[in-house]
Every structure is written in structure tokens, then in C-alpha cells.
């Protein structure tokens, strides 16, 4: 009995060892980088990699090029990256997908232009949790899980030795339920931020003297701020909530966008990618009509629950009013009164009388005392984008269908 058990254990150990060796041997560096190119192509990135080498479960790629493609007929100039990219903890899964524990890129310190001399320095680049989904075409449920987190340290871009753009860091993190790299994904939460942005706009005058003079008059030679995004997405009903998408610049102002949609499922995203892939080149009338019908079907399935765009002033609006008042030869108070008197006539040209009561009071309040201005959309019930598009034929009715509201100088929620 003991001999039989021992033999069975040895047999099982041998099978397990053979399986592990087979998995290790199956990992091919070239196949891995080829899959990167395939996965990122629908997203508009055309990759061509240098030599790829395998060492255990680590794959190192010796640079390459990437071309951004906005459509099949519109490509930007290829960007060359001559630094090594290291993928650690690479695993090829049974379904043909790949995962890697991390992706690291050495600090970048390179010239990118000669006249004027442009130089870029970017450090501490790291991706943790890297995923290459299986499938051809690549399903959207995989494309929205390409990484768990991405971060960088400081960026500095100089022009003839003078820094023109910099930031302290970028961070992007997502939490996936039930797990990362799962085809059974049910929902996710994501955050993204660019911290400590700084831009020196004095060099604008060299290219456009008029614009440079305006920037200087507005006191915008240097601007600094942050960008932040926080969103949730449920796969089953396509419920997307953008809790915050803000651009906040010191002594300028802050713009915050909020959005609540339903029906934006991975299936819809798959259809959008398929439409993008079929665009380009000459089309027959039948093909164009088919694409239009497909687009209308997509809009029918996506519903808007609410949306808002809010601007909080931190001196920019006041500076603009002072600037244009000075240009017109008037003081600010007189210039503002002139703008307010013109508003009703400007809105009357739209042919939508309802806009007058909706827009004139809040905009007038903002011009008198620039604090905040917010445009809100809140339909009585979730309304499809197609219905709203049809309602646009009757602009007055569209205002009601959208639940459109404009507010000024209200406290932030």
C-alpha cells in the first residue's frame, strides 16, 4: 500500500513538473510583444517593437516606435522610444491572454527637437498589474482592464534650456470586481490625477506676438494646477458615473464636469470599436447608410441621467472683463452693462424665446460678480441620446426634454 502511494505521488509530481515546464517553454517573447501590438491597435496605437528577450518570466524589449492613428487614413508621425521596457512576472494563460506583475521603464532624458532645442525628462515610470486580453477582435471587457495602476514621477520639458512645462506626478488606479483581468468583470472604479502642473507661457509671444501680449496683460505668464478624475462603471446596465473631472488652476479658475449615463455597456463599446475599424476610404451609399443606422441604434441604447459643467472663477473672468473693457475704451462697469444689454438680442437670434429667461438672469449675475457659472442637464427621466437628437429639431422642446438649467454664484455641492 505504501509503495503504491509513493508511486502515485511521484507520478503526480512528474505530471505537475512537466506541466510547469510546458508553461515556461510556451512563454515566447516575440509572441508577447506581437500581442501588445494587436491589443492596442483598436485603441489607435500602432506599435513596432525592437528585439524582445526572455529571461525566466521577465521579458525585456529594446525600444521601438509608436504611431497614433486617429482613423485609418490619419496617422501622426511615428514617435521613437529607444529605452528598454521590462515586463516582470509574465504569465501566458490558457485562453491566450497574458498578465504581468509590473512594467518598468528607465527614466527618460532625451532631446525631441532641434530648433528650438526641446528636451524631455520623465522619471519613475511604472505600471503594476498589466493585462493583454485574448480574442480577435479584442473584446471591450478586456480593453478596459489593461492595467491596475500607472504612475510616474516628475516631468520636465525645456525649450532652449528654459522649462516650459512640468508636473510632479501622474497616478491612475482602478479597482476591478470580482478581480483584475477577469472576463466576468461586473464593475470598476477608477481615479486619475496629474499633480503639480506648471506651464510657462512667455514663449508663446515668439510664435504669436498678439497672443503673447494678451497672456501677459492677463497675468497668465505662468499657470499651475491639477487635473483629477473619479468615476464608477457597472457593466451589466452600463451605468457610468463621472463623480468628478476637474481642472483646477491657481489664480485662474476651476472647471468641473459631472456625468451620469446608463446603457454604456462593454457591448456598446465593442460596437463603437467595430465602427471605427470600418471607417476610412471610400464608402458606398449603402455602407454609409448602414453606419448611420448603426450609430442611431447605439444612441438609442445610451441614456443620459444627468450632466453638469461648472466653472468657479479664481480671477480669470474678472481679468478678462478688465482687459476687454480697456480695449473698448470703457470702464469695467460700463462694459459689463453693455454686455448685459446685448444678451437678449444675441439670444433672440437663436429663435428660442425660452432661452432668454433661462440664460439672461444667471449670466448677468455672473458678469456683475464672477464667482461661479454652472450648466446642468437633468431630464425628468433617463432619456436616450437618440431621443434628445430628435428633440433638437424643436429647440424649445429640447430644453424641457433635457431639464436644462443655468445657475450663477451658487455654493459648490
What mean pLDDT comes out for the span 158-167?
93
pLDDT band at 4 (very low <50, low <70, confident <90, very high): very low
pLDDT band at 69 (very low <50, low <70, confident <90, very high): confident
CA distances 206 to 11, 128, 148, 203, 303, Å, are: 77, 41, 42, 6, 47
User: H-helix or E-strand containing 244?
Assistant: strand 239-249
What mean pLDDT comes out for the span 157-178?
95
Least confident of 37-41, 114-118, 312-316: 114-118
The percent of residues in the chain predicted with pLDDT above 70, rounded, is 91
pLDDT surpassing 60 at residue 203? yes
pLDDT on residue 292: 78
* Residue with the larger pLDDT of the pair 340 and 395: 340
Alpha-carbon torsion 276, 74, 63, 49, what sign?
positive
| Distance in angstroms (rounded) separating the CA atoms of residues 373 and 406 | 7
Least confident of 205-209, 308-312, 316-320, 366-370: 205-209
pLDDT on residue 83: 86
Quote the crossing angle between the two packed helices 332-348 and 316-328, to the nearest 10°.
Answer: 90
Least confident of 125-139, 283-297, 354-368: 283-297
What mean pLDDT comes out for the span 311-340?
95
pLDDT on residue 393: 72
Least confident of 47-61, 173-187, 212-226, 395-409: 395-409
pLDDT on residue 299: 83
> Please, what is the average pLDDT of the chain?
88
pLDDT surpassing 70 at residue 20? no
What mean pLDDT comes out for the span 211-224?
92
> In sequence order, which ranges of 62-178 are alpha helices (DSSP H)?
140-143
pLDDT on residue 82: 83
Pair 256, 310: CB distance under 8 Å: yes
What mean pLDDT comes out for the span 126-135?
96
pLDDT surpassing 50 at residue 17? no
pLDDT surpassing 80 at residue 14? no
**CA-based nearest residue to 263, from 232, 293, 298, 292:** 298
CA distances 275 to 71, 72, 262, Å, are: 11, 12, 21
pLDDT on residue 22: 37
3-state secondary structure of 51: coil
| Distance in angstroms (rounded) separating the CA atoms of residues 111 and 153 | 19
pLDDT on residue 281: 61
**CA-based nearest residue to 335, from 349, 347, 323:** 323
DSSP secondary structure string for all residues of 99-132 = EEEEEEEPPEEEEEEETTEEEEEE--EEEEEEEE
pLDDT band at 8 (very low <50, low <70, confident <90, very high): very low
| Distance in angstroms (rounded) separating the CA atoms of residues 19 and 17 | 5
How many other C-beta atoms are found inside a 10 Å radius of the C-beta of residue 60?
16
Pair 67, 80: CB distance under 8 Å: no
pLDDT surpassing 90 at residue 285? no
**CA-based nearest residue to 59, from 92, 107, 37:** 92
3-state secondary structure of 310: strand
Least confident of 90-94, 183-187, 290-294, 297-301: 290-294
pLDDT surpassing 90 at residue 399? no
pLDDT surpassing 50 at residue 184? yes
* Residue with the larger pLDDT of the pair 262 and 15: 262
How many other C-beta atoms are found inside a 10 Å radius of the C-beta of residue 47?
19
Pair 60, 69: CB distance under 8 Å: no
Least confident of 18-22, 225-229, 305-309: 18-22
Please state whether the peptide bond connecting residue 185 to the residue before it is cis, i.e. omega within 30 degrees of 0: no
The percent of residues in the chain predicted with pLDDT above 90, rounded, is 64
pLDDT surpassing 80 at residue 321? yes
CA distances 281 to 102, 276, 286, 293, Å, are: 39, 12, 14, 19
Amino acid at each position: 500500500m505504501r509503495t503504491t502511494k509513493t508511486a502515485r505521488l511521484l507520478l503526480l509530481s512528474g505530471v505537475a513538473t512537466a506541466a510547469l515546464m510546458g508553461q515556461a517553454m510556451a512563454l515566447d517573447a516575440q509572441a508577447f510583444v506581437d500581442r501588445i501590438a494587436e491589443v492596442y491597435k483598436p485603441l489607435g496605437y500602432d506599435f513596432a517593437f525592437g528585439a524582445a528577450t526572455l529571461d525566466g518570466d521577465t521579458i525585456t524589449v529594446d525600444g521601438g516606435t509608436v504611431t497614433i492613428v486617429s482613423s485609418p487614413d490619419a496617422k501622426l508621425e511615428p514617435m521613437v522610444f529607444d529605452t528598454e521596457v521590462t515586463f516582470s512576472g509574465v504569465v501566458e494563460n490558457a485562453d491566450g491572454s497574458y498578465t504581468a506583475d509590473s512594467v518598468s521603464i528607465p527614466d527618460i532624458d532625451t532631446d525631441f527637437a532641434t530648433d528650438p532645442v526641446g528636451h524631455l525628462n520623465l522619471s519613475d515610470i511604472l505600471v503594476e498589474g498589466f493585462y493583454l486580453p485574448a480574442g480577435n477582435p479584442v473584446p471591450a471587457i478586456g480593453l478596459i482592464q489593461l492595467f491596475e495602476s500607472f504612475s510616474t514621477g516628475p516631468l520636465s520639458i525645456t525649450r532652449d534650456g528654459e522649462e516650459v512645462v512640468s508636473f510632479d506626478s501622474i497616478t491612475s488606479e482602478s479597482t476591478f470586481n470580482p478581480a483584475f483581468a477577469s472576463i466576468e468583470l461586473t464593475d470598476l472604479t477608477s481615479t486619475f490625477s496629474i499633480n503639480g502642473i506648471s506651464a510657462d507661457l512667455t514663449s508663446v509671444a515668439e510664435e504669436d506676438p498678439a497672443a503673447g501680449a494678451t497672456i501677459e496683460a492677463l497675468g497668465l505668464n505662468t499657470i499651475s494646477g491639477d487635473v483629477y478624475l473619479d468615476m464608477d462603471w457597472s457593466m451589466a446596465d452600463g451605468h457610468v458615473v463621472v463623480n468628478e473631472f476637474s481642472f483646477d488652476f491657481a489664480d485662474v479658475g476651476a472647471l468641473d464636469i459631472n456625468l451620469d449615463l446608463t446603457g454604456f455597456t462593454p457591448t456598446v463599446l465593442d460596437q463603437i470599436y467595430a465602427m471605427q475599424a470600418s471607417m476610412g476610404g471610400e464608402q458606398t451609399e449603402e455602407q454609409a447608410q448602414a453606419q448611420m443606422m448603426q450609430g442611431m441604434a447605439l444612441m438609442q441604447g445610451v441614456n443620459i441621467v444627468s450632466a453638469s459643467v461648472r466653472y468657479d472663477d479664481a480671477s480669470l473672468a474678472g481679468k478678462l472683463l478688465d482687459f476687454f473693457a480697456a480695449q473698448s475704451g470703457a470702464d469695467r462697469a460700463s462694459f459689463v452693462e453693455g454686455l448685459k444689454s446685448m444678451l437678449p438680442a444675441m439670444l433672440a437670434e437663436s429663435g428660442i424665446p425660452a432661452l432668454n429667461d433661462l440664460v439672461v438672469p444667471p449670466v448677468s449675475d455672473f458678469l456683475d460678480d464672477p464667482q461661479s457659472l454652472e450648466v446642468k442637464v437633468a431630464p425628468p427621466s433617463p432619456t436616450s441620446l437618440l431621443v434628445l437628437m430628435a428633440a433638437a429639431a424643436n429647440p424649445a422642446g429640447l430644453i424641457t426634454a433635457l431639464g436644462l438649467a443655468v445657475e450663477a454664484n451658487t455654493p459648490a455641492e
